[in-house]
Structure 1
Amino acid sequence: MYSKNDILSPFTLPNGIQLKNRILMAPMTTCTGYFDGSVTNELVEYYRERAGSIGTVIVECGFVDDRGLAFPGAIGIDDDNKIEGLAKIAEAIQSKGSKAILQIYHGGRMVEPSLIGGRTPVGPSAIAAPRDGAATPEALTAEEVEGMVTKFGEAVRRAIKAGFDGVEIHGANTYLIQQFFSPNSNQRDDQWGGSRENRARFPLAVLEITRKMVRQYATPAFIIGYRFSPEEMEVPGIRFDDTLFLLEKLAELGLHYLHFSMGYTLRPSIVDKNDATPLIHKYVQMRSETLAQIPVIGVGGIINKSDAELAIENGYDLIAVGKACIAYPDWTDRIARGETLELFIDSTQREELTIPEPLWRFSLVDAMIRDLSSMPTGKFKSGVFQEKVQADDHELMIHVNLETDRIADIHLESHADLDVTFVSSFETIRSRILDANTPLVDAVSGATTQSEAVKKAVTKAMAKSCKALALEEGGSLEPPHYDVVVLGSGGAGLAAAIQASDRDASVLIVEKMPSLGGNTLKASVGMNAAGTRFQKMQGINDCKEKFYHESLKGGKGMNNPALLRSFVDNAAEAIEWLADRNIVLNDITITGGMSIDRTHRPADRSAVGGFLISGLVRNINQREIDVMLDTDVIEILMENGAVSGLQVKNDDGEVLTIHTKSLVVATGGFSANHDMVVKYRPELKGFVTTNHKGATGSGIALLEKIGAGTVDMGEIQIHPTVEQTTSYLISEAIRGGGAILVNQKGERFFNELETRDKVSAAIIGLPEHYAYIVFDEQVRLNNKAADEYIGRGFVVSADSPRQLAEKLGLDMHTFLATLERYNVFVEKQHDEDFGRQTALRHPIHEGPFYAIQIAPGVHHTMGGVTINTNTEVLDVNQQVIPGIFAAGEVTGGLHGGNRIGGNAVADIIIFGTMAGRNAATWARN
């Protein structure tokens, strides 16, 4: 019935609907929905960009019930208020000439409780999934099963109303529909379980109600598909003959396509390891005439046109393209032109490829991202180069055979403890690299770590070969000279590098960690500034004098007055500096110690750190600023009393000399150096730290070696709200949004918006030495970070304060009285108990209600090297060390005895840009 002609020719489905070609975009998780599952503009544009030449786009799965989302950032189709956003996706796809199909699902027992507010997942039976840490679900009652079928039907109605051309019922990937059919997860003894016939009832009921909704609300043109996983590894579990049984039943009811869910189109059985026959071959041989009338989609491993044609030749009617559509939004056009593609994404191309930020960070995409700046170019010196590869606990050796213009071979040395799975993945990645003549290939599914290790080793071998050739031809391997070298790649370092580059300086960033971002990535609340245009737009009347005096008061009067004055005077300009570079902080909140909303954060109210670093790195890439990662600085080199260069060691152990005219040190503080913390503050022994592991004070030590002075080294700030099991900071924006702190009795005990040192001291003074930060749905809705905390499992939630008290072990009557009293204070805008004067935003009375157990942790080191208002580093005699500048937490003096929340982010941008500008000027003069 369906001829196996060109994959780019039209194809007609059993309901008479013609697809423009046999290519579909596979449904792939993007994690880009809002906290409630509604659609973001980013998601709409992501799908718009990939529609057009491709015949059909299958949109990622939408959950049919708010207990059914299986991953953070999932989109929902569980309520009519989701229709408007989903309609935008459908319209965006159809406006480019492609069909739009929405996949619908429920995660069942695969749902993490943290994703559904701490509630228990549901499933066919109260049996946990066979994976570490899986929650035991609540078994659905027979009545609830009927209700779940209805929810799938309502989802179909909403998809029709949103304008989609069809739905794909997600009966794969061990989600709820598959769980009902599986003898592993379904051990019921009613009409929904037991025999294979009974276990098939639920998927058949979902298809029946789907067909009913189509008859009632749509036209016969509406497409109905079904996705399935052909086997389960578990015992007992679904086997291929079980799947054929179910598919035959589905075919009898009527479907327009079936969609295999596998990692590779020609995958054999995962149960019978001795049978190498592709499952599609078995399917074609064993299906009935009825089933043969339904087109089948293949997915997995489709990168080039030849891959799709091979799948068609082996029995598939249609082809779904997954990761290649992310890397190449115009994939269909490219293969139509005969291009041969390699599956990777340039690390600088996120925005150009319209890939949403959450998807960019998702493992699906992260494994494809390549830093092309590190790729050796040019010809090779022929020969065999040896490189080490780390495989779990073993260090293996590979031999890379290079010819003048190609990678000739890659050989893995035998090893006594060589794991068979590593050998298998090595052979696959080896073939991919040799075929493409580049290590920039896709990692092997399920063996990403091993794949990346092999690719890195091949890249190093190529680099060594290029260097050897350069030496042979009389070239020099000495690193180039730079006008400015920046140590550290947090916010201060990146801002300095950008500003120096904008002043026409040649710039190099040296970072000891394997990735950019530093401790700034952990920043959560925002950036303080007074008198900004964003404040004025919101009617906030603020002034620099008030900002100055509140920061001075927060710092216990110990702040360096000149540095503080420069900080305050330049803060608003720094907000504009970011905005000019498309890093806009235009939502405003408040932090402890401030009397006015002056803490600037992203419009979506997300954590400021990741947003800042993403924007700054984008600017670094646009300017093609050189970066050296995994590189330790051994020594700062001086000549005639001024900086002349650096001695560094890269991750290969090579010691290199880098020449520079000026140096910016932005290496951060020392909160993660426990010995150094205890040296200056013995009472902090045993405290966790919120900082990343690179915050060791290495920059301070380097500068002290050349005579730099230090100041305030004993002034170490502890943050009051740290989740202790993970050392994760709970943003001050939560309290600034209206949350309160209660002790184990259920009582408030201090002004939540006092400075961090005072709030921390109050918590430490409690008998239990911890507290709970308590908030309601109103606070959560206005703080995107709260959803991250829920997703990470920090949050205890309940539908009522009474239930929350019970879960936390608080005295219920005391806790209810505390909330009632606080809510009266909010109404009066006067805290009679603790004098809280800010962020009395609204009563805590809208469920659900949330709590996070917290205690203080080491957060910020106010002390560091001494600088002047030009960011020049001073020696122990307060004299300028020529050519060396510093910014951020590596410096001391600005914050005095206590840092105000939101001032650190301002610090790194204000003084980072200043250091970059001054370093460029020094180099030029």
Structure 2
Amino acid sequence: MKSQNRLLQPFTLPNGSVLKNRFLMAPITTCTGYYDGTVNRELVEYYRVRSGSIGTVIVECCFIDDKGLAFPGAIGIDNDSKIAGLAKIAAAIKSAGSKAILQIYHGGRMSEPKLIGGQTPVAPSALAAPREGATTPTALSAQEVDEMIAKFGEAVRRAIEAGFDGVEIHGANTYLIQQFYSPNSNQRDDKWGGSRENRARFPLAVLDVAHQMVSQYADPSFIIGYRFSPEEIEEPGIRFVDTMYLLEQLAVRGLDYLHFSTGHSLRSSIVDTCDPTPLIDKYVTMRSTTLAKIPVMGVGGVVNMQDAELALEHGYDMIAVGKACIAYPDWADRIISQQKLELFIDSTQREALNIPEPLWRFSLVEAMIRDMSIASKKFKAGIFNEKVQDDTLTLAINVSLEIDRIADIALDADADLDVAFTTNFEIIRSRILDANSPHVDAVSGATTQSEAVKKAVSKAIAKSCKAQLLEEGGSLSEPQNYDVVVVGSGGAGLAAAIQACDEGAKVLIVEKMPSIGGNTIKASVGMNAAETRFQKLKGINDSKDLFYQETLKGGQGKNDTVLLKQFVEYAPQAVEWLAEHDIELSDITITGGMSIDRTHRPADCSAVGGFLISGLVKNINKRQIDVMLDTAVTDIRYVDGAVAGVELLNDENETLIINAKSVIVATGGFSANRDMVVKYRPELDGFVTTNHQGATGGGIAILEKIGAGTVDMGEIQIHPTVEQSTSYLISEAIRGGGAILVSQAGRRFFNEMETRDKVSAQIIGLPEKSAYVVFDEQVRMKNKAADEYIARGFVISADSPRELAHKLDMDFHAFLATLENYNLAVDKQNDAEFGRKTALRHPINQGPFYAIRIAPGVHHTMGGVTINTQACVLDSQQQPLNGAYAAGEVVGGIHGGNRIGGNAVADIIIFGILAGRNAASYAMK
């Protein structure tokens, strides 16, 4: 009780500032800022509702320089324009009665090129971080080091002007300040490197400039804290004795608190793993009298009062609380009233808890979402050994299962692993354990490894479920029973499964590939719809009739007009359906063939595919819908004029029978089946395809076997902008954002916003049969896909148009004239030369300037099986095949002779919902 009283009593810092209690909200990254690092209303409200009874709120780290972003959605304090937004956060926190502290940082070599406009990160030395795919940074010059210290000072000034009560200097998590102190990342030979004393100069200089700014612009009560990571695992690296040296030096210069950055407040050494002593105990023993005067804060593992009391007993003066404050905005009130809390979040309560959507999708939060589990399954408890194989090695993995959850995932303890492999494994392991499901997002840059681990866990679960079934007296040879089987796990299949489940059906998803997502995960541009709520909010005056007419024109008048009318009518409802399922497409752009901005995409302007699949999978997990991966549907059982089930073949060559009254085929098109493409369009032999390798037309074949009719099989679309060495599609959103197409001669040659078939034909007609997508920094800033292309190495960049022309081996006189003519057209909003009427957004005149070499590739097959407006599959006489439904690219007729960009995502969601609803209704009659 004594320590509890201490925790709740006011606490005075060395500078005389008084905190109402010893509890602080930890600075947890929300990834919620706008693309340019400014603050939005959602973020302000997030902090407002968590302020009040908790003594102090430490706001997530702000980048002090536009080359310092280490994660997407970061907020910035790199220029004065950011002050107004940050002031709203400070005011919200302080109005509720808490103190507001802002954490400031620079990512250094941990900054991602795709987040900083493709620029090379900066660091103390030109040494890449020891992780897979890490970029080698540019070493800061001595002058640039001085300038960087000044930028930290300017950030402190801005924090003062924004009304914050203090700043926390982020010297942890391997970011720039820690990089200067680390012998691993700092191998300079000037005064900023070499000896431990020299390496300490940078963090000490940052503290000094912070004091200077406080002396000049704030009163003495302004708080300065410092966050540090006590050790590095690398060799050479920071050891605890090195940290103690630095902290002693910082204490001499004056600090108001120190913040231990560890995963758990009582964590022991990550270097000396044989010593179980908590690092805080070592710190208390080793510190000098001077250092002991600086309060120290612990973080990690604090949910209830007894957790905080235990941390206090070990020597912490203050306690930072992270995940518990996300789950419980009124956490301090609950603790004060002596409630016993469990760390979980009801997945229906995101908006009620004021949790921003990007934070909701973050693995740290997913760890707390209880009802996303697969608790309805019954596992046979035990440890199941599976093999994990990525591109380079094979390892044993042990999956520990309890009766209703995945308890642990561990690699063979004898394995000789590199740091990158271990790091990526830990990330995917955490995601699976957090979601209690193998169906989670892969780790960026480690897709193959992630999918291997996910597959191993899926196999372990399958074995466990079989063992439990046998233990309960069941038979493996007896067919399983479902109401609806969905074949394919792209956007159409997932939407169909979710809707069918919500109608009360028992649903199974079968996917022949080893991972969920299908071709949808590669989608980039967005989802078309007219007369939506989001258009109205942006003042866009659109109509369904215009959408219909432009789609019909784009499809060369070959569209099935009945299906097209249904498509146009249901599109805005589908956008709302996604929003209701926490998949909000609120930003809007335009694609070729459209005259109005009606292409809906994520608010951060990122590619729609990964965002869509991630959100749909979360809904699949939430509903506990069964999924079989690496399993092909070999036949649809069609008995007495109706669907009776499906026959499956899994990757262990086992034949399985599933009884079901409805089947929804959502297997995509056949762009990746070269023989099938050439059968219908011989002239496309040799073209690359943007599609994933599973797009082979198998769904069309199994439906044809039960009598399905087909339509428009020869209508195959080639996309004009495909990076040829990787078959990677360059999103139409780049042109929709204001980019142009330029030939090798340096000239525009066609209206970039025409339909895909026409633009492709013009590129093929060029002597070199390729072209460049050319854009500037203004386009890049509004299209996150561009950052991905930069990171993948597709982009050639230059500071000036003349330099870009030189790099492209292009006549710079012609190129400069091209840009000048285009920019004049933009100024006049009249492209008289090529008749471009849309996406004349701004002149291409702000460096850096960018170019990507592209040529056409097979992209979409408009032909497929025939359906009616209920998504029922029709036979060759246009009669329904009872119980058979289809949605997505497996269906023909909707797009006619050419698909408009953005219509495919609308197609899969609209008809996926319809198929799910009607298949469930039919099965449950």
**TM-score when scaled to structure 2?**
0.84
CA shift digits 1:292-320 (9 cap, x unpaired): 11122233455665554444333333333
Tell me how far apart the structure 1 counterparts of residues 106 and 289 of structure 2 sit (CA, whole Å).
Answer: 31
Equivalent residue number for residue 65 of structure 1:
65
Which residue type is aligned with residue 298 of structure 1? G
Equivalent residue number for residue 471 of structure 1:
473
Equivalent residue number for residue 912 of structure 1:
912
Which residue type is aligned with residue 753 of structure 1? M
**TM-score when scaled to structure 1?**
0.84
1:399 Cα deviation from its structure 2 partner: 9.2
Whether the aligned pair in 2 keeps the contact of 1:439 and 1:458 (CA below 8 Å) is no
CA shift digits 1:724-752 (9 cap, x unpaired): 45544332122123210112332212221
Which residue type is aligned with residue 822 of structure 2? Y
Which residue type is aligned with residue 815 of structure 1? F
Which residue type is aligned with residue 161 of structure 1? E
Whether the aligned pair in 1 keeps the contact of 2:180 and 2:192 (CA below 8 Å) is yes
Equivalent residue number for residue 170 of structure 1:
170
Q: Residues 458 and 344 from structure 1, CA distance in 2 versus in 1: closer, same or farther, beyond 3 angstroms? A: farther
> Match of 2:102, SS?
strand
1:221 and 2:221 are equivalent in the alignment: yes
> Match of 1:851, SS?
strand
Equivalent residue number for residue 746 of structure 2:
746
1:206 Cα deviation from its structure 2 partner: 1.3
For residues 13-162 of structure 1, the aligned pairs below 5 Å read: 13-131=13-131, 133-162=133-162
How many residue pairs get aligned? The number is 908
Equivalent residue number for residue 836 of structure 2:
836
CA shift digits 1:536-585 (9 cap, x unpaired): 78776766665445434433444334434544455566566667878766
Give unpaired runs (5+ residues) of structure 1.
none
For residues 410-809 of structure 1, the aligned pairs below 5 Å read: 463-464=465-466, 467-468=469-470, 470-471=472-473, 479=480, 481-482=482-483, 484-497=484-497, 504=503, 506=505, 508-512=507-511, 517-529=517-529, 547-568=547-568, 571=571, 588-601=588-601, 605-609=605-609, 624=623, 626-630=625-629, 632-648=632-648, 657-674=657-674, 676-678=676-678, 680-681=680-681, 684=684, 687-724=687-724, 726-787=726-787, 789-790=789-790, 794-809=794-809
Whether the aligned pair in 2 keeps the contact of 1:508 and 1:625 (CA below 8 Å) is no
Which residue type is aligned with residue 520 of structure 2? T
For residues 229-244 of structure 1, the aligned pairs below 5 Å read: 229-244=229-244
Tell me how far apart the structure 2 counterparts of residues 924 and 788 of structure 1 sit (CA, whole Å).
Answer: 45
Tell me how far apart the structure 2 counterparts of residues 761 and 811 of structure 1 sit (CA, whole Å).
Answer: 24
Whether the aligned pair in 2 keeps the contact of 1:50 and 1:325 (CA below 8 Å) is yes
> Match of 2:904, SS?
helix
1:783 Cα deviation from its structure 2 partner: 4.0
CA shift digits 1:73-101 (9 cap, x unpaired): 22111111111222232233334443322
Q: CA RMSD, aligned part only?
A: 4.6
CA shift digits 1:267-305 (9 cap, x unpaired): 444455665544333322222100111122233455665
Whether the aligned pair in 1 keeps the contact of 2:44 and 2:88 (CA below 8 Å) is yes
Equivalent residue number for residue 872 of structure 2:
872
Equivalent residue number for residue 198 of structure 1:
198
1:843 Cα deviation from its structure 2 partner: 2.6
1:720 Cα deviation from its structure 2 partner: 1.6
Tell me how far apart the structure 1 counterparts of residues 170 and 408 of structure 2 sit (CA, whole Å).
Answer: 41
Equivalent residue number for residue 810 of structure 2:
810
Q: Residues 788 and 353 from structure 1, CA distance in 2 versus in 1: closer, same or farther, beyond 3 angstroms? A: farther
Whether the aligned pair in 2 keeps the contact of 1:224 and 1:255 (CA below 8 Å) is yes
1:694 Cα deviation from its structure 2 partner: 4.4
Q: Residues 305 and 605 from structure 1, CA distance in 2 versus in 1: closer, same or farther, beyond 3 angstroms? A: same
Q: Residues 544 and 241 from structure 1, CA distance in 2 versus in 1: closer, same or farther, beyond 3 angstroms? A: closer
Tell me how far apart the structure 2 counterparts of residues 675 and 369 of structure 1 sit (CA, whole Å).
Answer: 46
Tell me how far apart the structure 1 counterparts of residues 732 and 601 of structure 2 sit (CA, whole Å).
Answer: 12
Tell me how far apart the structure 2 counterparts of residues 190 and 707 of structure 1 sit (CA, whole Å).
Answer: 77
Of 213-222 and 386-395, deviating more is 386-395
1:867 Cα deviation from its structure 2 partner: 2.1
CA shift digits 1:867-906 (9 cap, x unpaired): 2344321224544312322222111122233212122233
Q: Residues 95 and 478 from structure 1, CA distance in 2 versus in 1: closer, same or farther, beyond 3 angstroms? A: farther
Equivalent residue number for residue 861 of structure 2:
861
Q: Residues 803 and 3 from structure 1, CA distance in 2 versus in 1: closer, same or farther, beyond 3 angstroms? A: farther
Whether the aligned pair in 1 keeps the contact of 2:117 and 2:780 (CA below 8 Å) is no
Whether the aligned pair in 1 keeps the contact of 2:298 and 2:316 (CA below 8 Å) is yes
1:814 Cα deviation from its structure 2 partner: 2.0
Which residue type is aligned with residue 299 of structure 2? V
Equivalent residue number for residue 358 of structure 1:
358
1:255 Cα deviation from its structure 2 partner: 0.7
> Match of 1:86, SS?
helix
Tell me how far apart the structure 1 counterparts of residues 613 and 862 of structure 2 sit (CA, whole Å).
Answer: 22
Tell me how far apart the structure 2 counterparts of residues 115 and 413 of structure 1 sit (CA, whole Å).
Answer: 32
1:262 Cα deviation from its structure 2 partner: 2.9
Tell me how far apart the structure 1 counterparts of residues 616 and 401 of structure 2 sit (CA, whole Å).
Answer: 39
Tell me how far apart the structure 2 counterparts of residues 346 and 653 of structure 1 sit (CA, whole Å).
Answer: 40
Whether the aligned pair in 2 keeps the contact of 1:488 and 1:509 (CA below 8 Å) is no
> Match of 1:46, SS?
helix
Which residue type is aligned with residue 506 of structure 1? A
Tell me how far apart the structure 2 counterparts of residues 416 and 288 of structure 1 sit (CA, whole Å).
Answer: 41
CA shift digits 1:235-288 (9 cap, x unpaired): 544333332222111111111111222334444444556655443333222221
Tell me how far apart the structure 2 counterparts of residues 173 and 397 of structure 1 sit (CA, whole Å).
Answer: 28
Whether the aligned pair in 1 keeps the contact of 2:4 and 2:309 (CA below 8 Å) is no
> Match of 2:69, SS?
coil
Which residue type is aligned with residue 840 of structure 1? L
Of 91-100 and 367-376, deviating more is 367-376
1:374 Cα deviation from its structure 2 partner: 1.7
For residues 293-308 of structure 1, the aligned pairs below 5 Å read: 293-302=293-302, 307-308=307-308
Of 54-63 and 685-694, deviating more is 685-694
Equivalent residue number for residue 903 of structure 2:
903
Give unpaired runs (5+ residues) of structure 2.
none
Tell me how far apart the structure 2 counterparts of residues 97 and 461 of structure 1 sit (CA, whole Å).
Answer: 54
Q: Residues 223 and 918 from structure 1, CA distance in 2 versus in 1: closer, same or farther, beyond 3 angstroms? A: same
Q: Residues 394 and 179 from structure 1, CA distance in 2 versus in 1: closer, same or farther, beyond 3 angstroms? A: closer
